[in-house]
Structure 1
Amino acid sequence: MTETSKTVPGAALSGLRVLDMTRILAGPWATQILADMGAEVIKIERPGEGDDTRSWGPPNVTDQQGRDRGAAYFHGANRGKKSVAVDMARPEGQRILKALAAQSDVVIENFKVGGLAKYGLDYASLAAVKPDLVYCSITGFGQTGPYANRAGYDFLIQAMGGLMSVTGQPDGTPGAEPMKVGVALTDVLTGLYAVIGILSALRHRDATGEGQHIDMSLLDVQVATLANQAMNYLATGKSPGRLGNAHPSIVPYQAFATSDGHLILAVGNDGQFARFCDVAGAPGLATDPRFATNPERVRNRDVLIPILQGLMSGRSMDDWIEALNAASVPVGPINTIERVFADPHVQSRGLRTSPETPQGDRLVGVASPINLSRTPAMPPRAAPDLGADTIGILSHMLDPSIFDLEALMTDGTIADFRTKKDGE
């Protein structure tokens, strides 16, 4: 284990230091997870501007005093981090970042392929001075291949990676067109896979003393997470189409209209289907050879679904949910996000939090879903103000005989969050 990663009491990744040179969502999502688990994440931002998503509002987050704390988007992916504002385009800024990297376990970046080489901040340059460094690069299309130099954004990758081809209403129905998912899911999934890669590389480093470069591609992740839809194509040679809220391999597994709203019925096996039919007052459907087994229900979905829709529309949503839950048939409402956070189970799991700023102010936030029994996630900590930790981190980690922080502040190479306030 290297000097930079001595374990200390606390969360699972306490003692791990991450130099975060990412922005937008995929990279910040990865480093937010690492911060949740106790890693010290030093987020590098552009002086005066910061991460692009700081300005991706409204809506903005306010503290309990009603003060604007910046775009909600930024707060959704940057909790628990420290912000250091450094201009990496300047030679002195590059020297600062090299010095920080030399004292870090992990560097993660999402610049275009080769974009950091001109600053001496690419993997080859940093590994030359710290051979055990784990360095993760996140790009749209990866470090190799004919598209490597293209910019990649989640929406584009959802399209190119096939997800939109299986999302949306079927052709010939109202509103039929390929549809993106309502959150930037490819970015989020790439962040998750990046964490898996980083932790795997750290395990190897701890065993061998060797660092390595992790090449994460949004397109790779999107193709890999097509899951059953990818295998359906590979097994048949036929591209799956759009089925709206229906499932290609399970029936009934979709949204149904009740007398006062829609719900989700998710029948996963023949026993659940038989119990549903009993609750619906149509036990004969479960013994009908066309519907008795899931393969037959899939083959005969066009016959079965209209029958079920007729049954579902005759009772209220709450009536169905209560009766089917009592019969252990998976069912649930289609909640708005307001209803999600009002749900008693979501509340009991503590998913809404009140992260605290260094000044003691309380904001709103979402909890980490990772629940470890012995090394739980860190207490909720708010996303940092731009440059909030510049002086604190740099004065601690840099040699004052080499780096004159006051001079660097004066010439604009670094910025502290107080700079703007002092000049107002």
Structure 2
Amino acid sequence: MYDSMAGITVIELAGSQAAAFAGKLLADVGATVVRFGISDPDPYLDARKLVSTSPVTDLLAGAEVLLTDLDDEGLTNHGVTLDGLRHDHPALVVTALSPLGRTGHRASWNADEIAMQAMSGLMHVTGYPDREPLAAPYGLGALQLGISGAGATCAAVFRARRSGIGAMVEISGAEVLASYVRIYGAVGEYYGIELNRAGHRAPGSGGRYPFGIFPCKDGHVALIARTAAEWDRFVAMMGSPEWASLPRYTDARAMAMDYPDEVDGLVVPWLQRHTRNELLELAQQHKVPMAPVRRVDELTDDIQMQYRNFFETTTLADGTPATVPGRPWVESM
């Protein structure tokens, strides 16, 4: 049963994936989400939503939440303003999502997904040092902004239920992503790492080798063995090669900071003799933090996701069934 937001009506004014995804997550936990618009519903984002073309001012009469990522001009076109909403509907929770925030010198910038990722610092550490910065794909910024928006909306609704007073929830996508990048700042400060793009590994390998994505026989694996004990177990997993006993390859910080490519040259040939599943089995036996990098087309066959019934089936506009991601949680009493 997914009903923690049952009885709550949310009016969604979405211009991007951010508010649409937040609305989806709220609908997933029982809220009645009314999407304003005349466009065809998205089979994933809008699966559990109602749709209306009634004036927004009329819809607000029976709502507890207004969820939007429209700018001030877009809201005015619907006959509402943020200040007016707070004045006319004091019990209403208003969740306003934007790429860079609604206040400050850059609030009026025509920003988008790339701007969110660039301004957050995320792109500074993504990619190879001799190439252009890379943006994470699939609208990562908008989706993370939507997740934060949905969670903050739930918290504001629960408070409003107790106090009878609404709230203005205002979230910047760049700030959401910057909060994720913060861990690099902390690690960089501790280990003295210059935070630059480092290709398939974290900047400076996170101060301890190994910390990155490595090729294997049928794809790639993620390997983050940061402690001395984890490195020793990984060495044992490789069959304790003779080179691993040399002092040069027992200094995790030096391997990370000074000559990681050299160590890659010793580790990768062994990895490339094994498939991802073989490496996963070995890693479980030796208690090594390693995981296969799954392709998107492999996810529906993943036994863990199947066990948790993560994927759902929906119907596209032409009647074709499609498998889509479901709720990223299990709600129980």
Normalised by the shorter chain, which TM-score bucket? 0.7 to 0.9
Aligned with 1:136: secondary structure?
Answer: strand
Q: Counterparts of 2:20 and 2:30 in 1: how far apart (Å)?
A: 15
Q: Counterparts of 2:78 and 2:192 in 1: how far apart (Å)?
A: 46
Q: Counterparts of 1:190 and 1:241 in 2: how far apart (Å)?
A: 25
**Deviation readout 1:86-126 (Å, 9 max, x if unpaired):** 4xxxxxx3xxx222212111101111135424644122222
The AA in structure 2 aligned to 1:15 is: G
Deviation at 1:289, TM superposition (A): 4.2
Residue 211 of structure 2 corresponds to residue 253 of structure 1: yes
**Equivalent residue number for residue 192 of structure 1:** 147
**Equivalent residue number for residue 324 of structure 2:** 365
TM-score under structure 1 normalisation? 0.69
Between the two proteins, the alignment pairs up a number of residues equal to 327
Residue 89 of structure 2 corresponds to residue 130 of structure 1: yes
Structure with the bigger percentage of helix: 2
Q: Counterparts of 1:252 and 1:101 in 2: how far apart (Å)?
A: 54
The AA in structure 2 aligned to 1:244 is: G
Aligned with 2:186: secondary structure?
Answer: helix
In the TM superposition, 1:15-414 aligns within 5 A as 15-45=7-37, 47=38, 50=39, 54=40, 74-86=42-54, 93=55, 97-117=56-76, 119-171=78-130, 176-232=131-187, 240-248=195-203, 249=206, 250-282=208-240, 288-292=246-250, 294-300=252-258, 301-355=260-314, 363-374=322-333
Q: Counterparts of 2:187 and 2:237 in 1: how far apart (Å)?
A: 33
With over 3 angstroms needed to count, the CA separation of the structure-2 counterparts of 1:125 and 1:262, relative to structure 1, is: closer
Deviation at 1:15, TM superposition (A): 0.7
The AA in structure 1 aligned to 2:105 is: P
The AA in structure 1 aligned to 2:6 is: S
Structure 1 residues without counterparts, runs of 5 or longer: 1-8, 55-69, 87-92, 375-424
Deviation at 1:167, TM superposition (A): 1.0
Aligned with 1:364: secondary structure?
Answer: strand
Query: How much is the aligned-residue C-alpha RMSD, in angstroms?
Result: 2.8
Aligned with 1:215: secondary structure?
Answer: strand
**Deviation readout 1:286-332 (Å, 9 max, x if unpaired):** 65544446434423424422221233234454443332232222333
With over 3 angstroms needed to count, the CA separation of the structure-2 counterparts of 1:219 and 1:319, relative to structure 1, is: closer
Q: Is residue 285–residue 292 contact of structure 1 (8 Å, CA) maintained in 2?
A: no
Q: Counterparts of 1:101 and 1:28 in 2: how far apart (Å)?
A: 18
Q: Counterparts of 2:193 and 2:216 in 1: how far apart (Å)?
A: 34
Q: Counterparts of 2:218 and 2:11 in 1: how far apart (Å)?
A: 52
Q: Is residue 140–residue 152 contact of structure 1 (8 Å, CA) maintained in 2?
A: yes
With over 3 angstroms needed to count, the CA separation of the structure-2 counterparts of 1:363 and 1:254, relative to structure 1, is: closer
**Equivalent residue number for residue 384 of structure 1:** none
**Deviation readout 1:54-99 (Å, 9 max, x if unpaired):** 5xxxxxxxxxxxxxxx7xxx3232221111134xxxxxx3xxx222
User: Which structure has the higher relative contact order (CA within 8 Å, separation 6+)?
Assistant: 1
**Deviation readout 1:318-374 (Å, 9 max, x if unpaired):** 4433322322223333322111112222222212212479xx996533210111122
Aligned with 2:214: secondary structure?
Answer: strand
With over 3 angstroms needed to count, the CA separation of the structure-2 counterparts of 1:322 and 1:179, relative to structure 1, is: same
Q: Counterparts of 2:189 and 2:233 in 1: how far apart (Å)?
A: 34
With over 3 angstroms needed to count, the CA separation of the structure-2 counterparts of 1:127 and 1:342, relative to structure 1, is: same
Aligned with 1:338: secondary structure?
Answer: helix
* Identity across matched positions, percent: 22
The AA in structure 1 aligned to 2:156 is: A
Q: Counterparts of 1:239 and 1:114 in 2: how far apart (Å)?
A: 42
Aligned with 1:116: secondary structure?
Answer: helix
The AA in structure 1 aligned to 2:306 is: Q
Query: Between Structure 1 and Structure 2, whose CA radius of gyration is higher?
Result: 1
Deviation at 1:281, TM superposition (A): 1.8
